């Protein structure tokens, strides 16, 4: 049987650019139709995507819907509800010397052909949520799923063309060679989610064409626990935020920062919280996922000697199971503190108090998220004023990214640019200045 030869990146981009130049993607009606079709795909084929996510990451159906499928549906619904208002031209004051008849305003213009490169940890959400913004802004889109989540990549490559306008949306599968070939093309925007190493590669490639980029990266997101808090509640929320998707979440609490006495009190509560979530044997829990591949399993296993094991510390390379693990007595110079963990290991690092915690955070790269558990308004103010992070959450990890009216993005080493809701329109559009001075 003869199989069709896949389009080369140059052909894909040229075809989508030709479509964009016809003006086909500009009308709001086209944009909303694409979003509704994408929503239909997610609702009609959600079971297919959930099965692929389980194959790639061991995600339960509940987690797949909550964190990927339904999450993206909510993003679509929010965008459909507000898109007309977001796109409405915004008047600007005109200086007196231009006369009373002059008018000025700004409008959002689509950029053109956009490349979205997704990671493997949330391979549906982190591909499609940016695609939602790119389509809503009126662009043509090349979607590049992660090859490290092959079942999900294959499902998306099969489903997206069945639902969306194939003259304006293309899926390109593959690994480093295919991504490298794509990055050699001229795009009007590149949206990349992943790590800083590849982020630098993306920026270098984009610089050749002066292409703007958004980089959604990661980093070591701290969780500061003050001594005045309800530690039982804190432990439960930390465990849920950390061990979701087996810790493979860019905004998961990377480590706990607290004073020695609070650390000692928190240890048994975290162990209890893990058992409450996944039972006495998390390997048997249908709600606990798996590490994406053996390479990451080996990397994470090498971090387990960085402290005293409070709970967990075991794994099975054959099944890529790594137990939810809490480490105590962790030295800031230990291996587990030198890199983003991106797995189910939660170190506890002790400092004397708030001043030292702030210094500890500021001595390191700016994190994607910073979480604070405290009852003190002054502590909240100090953290907000004296640190820099992509997002700041008081009392609950991860939740800020579920608020569609908040921008999601990093700062410094944790990224640049933001998206979700209206901020996606801003990212994937050019805000054009317009002045009208009548001739008579």
Catalytic site residues? 216, 250
- Taking the C-alpha atoms of residue 28 and residue 136, their distance in angstroms, rounded to an integer, is 8
Q: 2: which 2 tokens? A: 């003869």
- Phi and psi at residue 259, to the nearest 5°: -80, 160
Between β-strands 315-316 and 321-322, what pairing exists: parallel, antiparallel or unpaired?
Answer: antiparallel
- Give the residue among 264, 259, 222, 230 at the shortest CA–CA distance from 356: 259
Q: Annotate the chain with three-state secondary structure.
A: CCCCCCCCHHHHHHHHHHHHHCCCCCCHHHHHHHHHHHHHHHHHCHHHHHHHHHHHHCCCHHHHHHHHHHHHHHHHHHHHHHHHHHHCCEEECCCHHHCCCCEEEEEEEECCEEEEECCCCCCCHHHHHHHHHHHHCCCEEEEECCCCCHHHHHHHHHHHHHHCCCCCEEECCCCHHHHHHHHCCCCCEEEEECCHHHHHHHHHHHHCCCCCEEEECCCCCEEEECCCCCHHHHHHHHHHHHHHHHHCCCCCCCEEEECHHHHHHHHHHHHHHHHHHHCCCHHHCCCCCCCCCHHHHHHHHCCHHHCEEEECCCEECCCCEECCEEEECCCCCCHHHCCCCCCCEEEEEECCCHHHHHHHHHCCCCCCEEEEECCCHHHHHHHHHHCCCCEEEECCCCHHHHCCCCCECCCHHHEECCECCHHHHHHCEEEEEEEECCCC
Backbone angles phi, psi at 108, to 5 degrees: -95, 120
Q: From CA 324, how far away is CA 341, in angstroms rounded?
A: 13
Tally Cβ neighbours within 10 Å of residue 208.
10
Best CA proximity match to 267, nearest among 326, 199, 332: 326
d(CA 152, CA 290): 15
Phi first, then psi, for residue 438 (nearest 5°) are -55, 150
């Amino acid at each position: 049987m003869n199989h069709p030869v896949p389009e080369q990146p140059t052909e894909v981009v040229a075809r989508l650019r030709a479509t964009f130049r016809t003006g086909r993607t500009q009308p709001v009606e086209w944009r909303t139709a694409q979003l509704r079709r994408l929503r239909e795909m997610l609702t009609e084929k959600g079971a297919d995507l959930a099965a692929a996510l389980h194959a790639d990451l061991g995600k339960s159906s509940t987690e797949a819907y909550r964190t990927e499928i339904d999450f993206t549906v909510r993003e679509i619904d929010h965008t459909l509800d507000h898109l007309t208002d977001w796109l409405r031209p915004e008047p600007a004051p005109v200086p007196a010397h231009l006369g009373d008849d002059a008018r000025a305003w700004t409008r959002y213009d689509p950029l053109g052909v956009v490349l979205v490169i997704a990671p493997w940890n949330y391979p549906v959400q982190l591909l499609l949520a940016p695609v939602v913004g790119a389509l809503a802004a009126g662009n043509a889109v090349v979607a590049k799923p992660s090859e490290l989540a092959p079942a999900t990549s294959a499902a998306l490559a099969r489903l997206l063309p069945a639902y969306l306008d194939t003259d304006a949306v293309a899926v390109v599968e593959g690994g480093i060679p295919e991504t490298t070939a794509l990055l050699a093309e001229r795009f009007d925007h590149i949206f990349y989610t992943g790590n800083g190493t590849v982020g630098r590669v993306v920026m270098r490639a984009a610089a050749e064409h002066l292409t703007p980029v958004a980089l959604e990266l990661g980093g070591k997101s701290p969780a500061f626990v003050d001594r005045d808090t309800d530690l039982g509640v804190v432990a439960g929320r930390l465990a849920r935020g950390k061990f979701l998707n087996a810790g493979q979440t860019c905004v998961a609490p990377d480590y706990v920062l607290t004073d020695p006495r609070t650390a000692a009190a928190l240890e048994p509560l975290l162990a209890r919280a893990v058992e409450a979530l996944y039972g006495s044997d998390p390997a048997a829990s249908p709600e606990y996922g798996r590490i994406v591949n053996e390479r990451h399993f080996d990397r994470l296993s090498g971090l387990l000697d960085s402290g005293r094991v409070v709970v967990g510390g075991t794994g099975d390379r054959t099944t890529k199971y790594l137990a939810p693990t809490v480490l105590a007595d962790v030295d800031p110079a230990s291996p587990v503190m030198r890199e983003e963990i991106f797995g189910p290991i939660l170190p506890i690092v002790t400092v004397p108090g708030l001043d030292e915690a702030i210094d500890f955070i500021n001595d390191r790269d700016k994190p994607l998220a910073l979480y604070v558990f405290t009852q003190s308004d002054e502590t909240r103010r100090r953290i907000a004023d004296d640190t820099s992070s992509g997002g700041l959450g008081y009392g609950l990890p991860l939740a800020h990214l579920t608020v569609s009216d908040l921008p999601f993005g990093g700062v410094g080493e944790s990224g640049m640019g933001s998206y979700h809701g209206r901020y996606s329109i801003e990212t994937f559009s050019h805000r054009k200045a317009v002045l009208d001075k009548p001739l008579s």
